[in-house]
Structure 1
Amino acid sequence: MSNKIYVCDGAIVECDQGFNPAELKVTENTKIKVQGKLKATDMDRQVPKTFGKCKLKPTSGDYLPCVPALQKWTKTSEKTTLGGSKKFLFQDSECMCSTGGKITITDPLQVDSAGSVAEEFTELARMLPGAMLGADQAPKVVESYWMDEEGKERIKGSKYKENLKLYVLTSNVDPGTSVKLKVADDKQWDIEKGQKELIYKGTVMENGVAEMEMVTLKKEWKDTEEK
């Protein structure tokens, strides 16, 4: 699973020929969110508040106002798309303005939830017909995240046996659907002797979120794998 950071609505962008940072407005995606915010695509090119003035348009004593004209974004997602055509932006995505400036992203607004584990959604994709196919209405995993024991604060990472809770946010999945998630160390080290993965199971609630519980006993582990 990629550890890339996605760009969200309101992300802070800068132009190397402008004077002020500005916000990127998401207009081409109204459905897919990450951490509750709409994900930006390569078709999102609106910067309503502009970058102030443009260094490429000098006057006798100042510069003319910036008129953003963002072109095609590069360094975008390759496999994950919206509607089969729009690609999602990452923190290192960039584009050019038709005037000549280069626009980069300084704050994507997605909180980095990557930690000492890497979540793998292969099993979940197999369980949900159509999952991960990129269709707007297909059942899919939107994100996974750790929270403290009380379920109030997000945690960036987790260590084995640390008292945290793991949640999975889904889209277009019916409440009551059971989901299963495999978790492994990002360096593929053994979590316990001879055991490189943990299995979490949960049930999707009305809000599309599943609170995952870990299968800890070796007998339970074996039984789960055989089902």
Structure 2
Amino acid sequence: MSERHLVCQGAICRCNFGTTPDKLKVLTQSKRYINDKGGGQKLMATNKDISKTFEKNMFGNCSKLNNNPCQVTVTQWSGFYEKITLEENSGKALLESSKATCPIGSTDCITIINHGQTAEVSQQNVKNADKEVLMELFPFTTVGKYIRKTDQLEF
């Protein structure tokens, strides 16, 4: 993988010994948002997000517990990005290649299968777009004439 993304709240994780994925929940900081135009949903995840840090706090049934319900508790993260440290919790940014350890499972048994970021097209993105590319993508529109209606762009 040549490009690695930062992980945010809502990232989908799975355990090698579980049966279903769960969504990551950021509980260690409340100021740093990524890929979130409104700055209210996608908190950046760090290696300090440990313990019970998932929405359901379980990955279905655990094969290590004879297929009884999972009892996930993250004890540590590995593979985080050393160059970003948050002031709030002194945490390092998680990458989509980061892995977590659960004492019931094993070292690095929890992986991230979706980083949680989503693309949002803004007005500035449309203004900066190559007009020829837009004409190829949308051949039956008039590119360059924008009508502003409650922050939505129309061609």
Q: State the TM-score, normalized to the length of structure 2.
A: 0.67
User: For structure 1, which runs of at least 5 residues remain unmatched after alignment?
Assistant: 114-145, 152-157, 165-227
Matches within 5 A, 1:173-192: none
For 1:54 and 1:39, locate their aligned partners in 2 and report how far apart those are by CA, in whole Å.
28
Deviation, structure 1 residue 90: 0.5
**Counterpart for residue 55 of structure 2:** 48
Which residue of 80, 84, 91 corresponds with 1:76?
80
2:99 is the counterpart of 1:94: yes
SS at structure 2 position matched to 1:43: coil
Q: Is the 8 A contact 2:35 2:119 kept in 1?
A: no
Q: Is the 8 A contact 1:8 1:34 kept in 2?
A: yes
Cα 1:112–1:72, aligned 2, differ >3 Å: closer, same or farther?
farther
For 2:99 and 2:47, locate their aligned partners in 1 and report how far apart those are by CA, in whole Å.
10
Deviation, structure 1 residue 3: 4.9
Q: Between Structure 1 and Structure 2, which shows a larger proportion of strand residues?
A: 1
Matches within 5 A, 1:121-132: none
Matches within 5 A, 1:5-154: 5-36=5-36, 37-45=42-50, 46-49=53-56, 50-58=58-66, 63-83=67-87, 85-101=90-106, 102-111=109-118, 147-149=125-127
User: For structure 2, which runs of at least 5 residues remain unmatched after alignment?
Assistant: 37-41, 133-155
Q: What is the one-letter code of the residue matched to 1:55? A: S
Q: What is the one-letter code of the residue matched to 1:80? A: I
Q: Is the 8 A contact 1:41 1:86 kept in 2?
A: yes
Q: Is the 8 A contact 1:35 1:110 kept in 2?
A: yes
Deviation, structure 1 residue 20: 0.3
Cα 1:31–1:22, aligned 2, differ >3 Å: closer, same or farther?
same
* CA offsets 1:81-130 (integer angstroms, 9 cap, x no match): 011721110110001111024000011112479xxxxxxxxxxxxxxxxx
For 1:65 and 1:96, locate their aligned partners in 2 and report how far apart those are by CA, in whole Å.
17
Cα 1:48–1:112, aligned 2, differ >3 Å: closer, same or farther?
closer
Deviation, structure 1 residue 44: 1.2
**Counterpart for residue 124 of structure 1:** none
* CA offsets 1:181-227 (integer angstroms, 9 cap, x no match): xxxxxxxxxxxxxxxxxxxxxxxxxxxxxxxxxxxxxxxxxxxxxxx
Structure with greater contact order relative to length (CA < 8 Å, sep ≥ 6): 2
Structure 1: 4+ residue segments shifted above 6 A: none
Q: State the TM-score, normalized to the length of structure 1.
A: 0.47
Q: What is the one-letter code of the residue matched to 2:43? A: L
For 1:26 and 1:106, locate their aligned partners in 2 and report how far apart those are by CA, in whole Å.
17
